[in-house]
């Protein structure tokens, strides 16, 4: 089944409404359900993908994203942020222990970071940003 695609603005509006009633939403699926429920008041075929919704939330000025993760494969190369899809630009050689270089990546867009053991996002918590 195909669905209609709401504008970024409409998604932002739905997010604002949702976060005016609560401070924290503990999972991406829950947030997606709430946003879609809100959007369906306007058009019952509206839908938004999890990735798009996450990116709109990251780019909004009133939501803070908390990323929970598990350790991943240290040999895996990561060129893109697994959270928001931005490419990593600032690769830093932090420390050298006996010739071993620890590399840290940090995403300027969403705040995701990882060391040598690639952190794999497992859960997202969305919170109202404190002003
Ligand atoms: Zn990111």
The pLDDT tens digits for 52-94 are: 999 999 999 999 999 999 999 888 878 889 999 998 765 555 5
The pLDDT tens digits for 6-62 are: 999 999 999 999 999 999 999 999 999 999 999 999 999 999 999 999 999 999 999
- Quote the crossing angle between the two packed helices 50-59 and 28-39, to the nearest 10°: 90
Residue 103's pLDDT is: 63
Q: Where do we find the tokens 């409409």?
A: 10
pTM of the model as a whole: 0.83
**Buried/exposed code over 69-89 (b: 16+ C-beta within 10 A; e: otherwise):** beeeeeeeebeebbbbeeebe
State in Å: Cα 44 to ligand 1 middle.
31
State in Å: Cα 10 to ligand 1 middle.
22
State in Å: Cα 110 to ligand 1 middle.
4
Confidence of residue 2 (pLDDT cuts 50, 70, 90): confident
Q: Is 9 helix (H, G, I), strand (E, B) or coil?
A: helix
Residue 94's pLDDT is: 54
Q: So where are the chain's domains?
A: 8-128
Is 94:104 a contact under the CB 8 Å cutoff?
Answer: yes
């Amino acid at each position: 089944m195909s669905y209609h695609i709401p504008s970024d603005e409409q998604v932002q509006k739905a997010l604002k409404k949702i976060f005016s009633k609560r401070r924290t939403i503990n999972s991406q699926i829950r947030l997606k359900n709430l946003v879609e429920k809100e959007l369906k008041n306007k058009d019952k075929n509206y839908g938004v993908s999890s990735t798009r919704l996450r990116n709109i939330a990251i780019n909004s000025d009133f939501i803070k994203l908390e990323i929970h993760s598990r350790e991943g494969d240290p040999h895996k190369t990561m060129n893109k942020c697994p959270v928001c899809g931005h490419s990593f630009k600032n690769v830093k050689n932090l420390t050298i222990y006996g010739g071993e270089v620890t590399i840290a990546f940090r995403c300027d867009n969403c705040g995701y970071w990882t060391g040598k053991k690639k952190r794999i996002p497992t859960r997202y918590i969305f919170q109202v940003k404190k002003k």
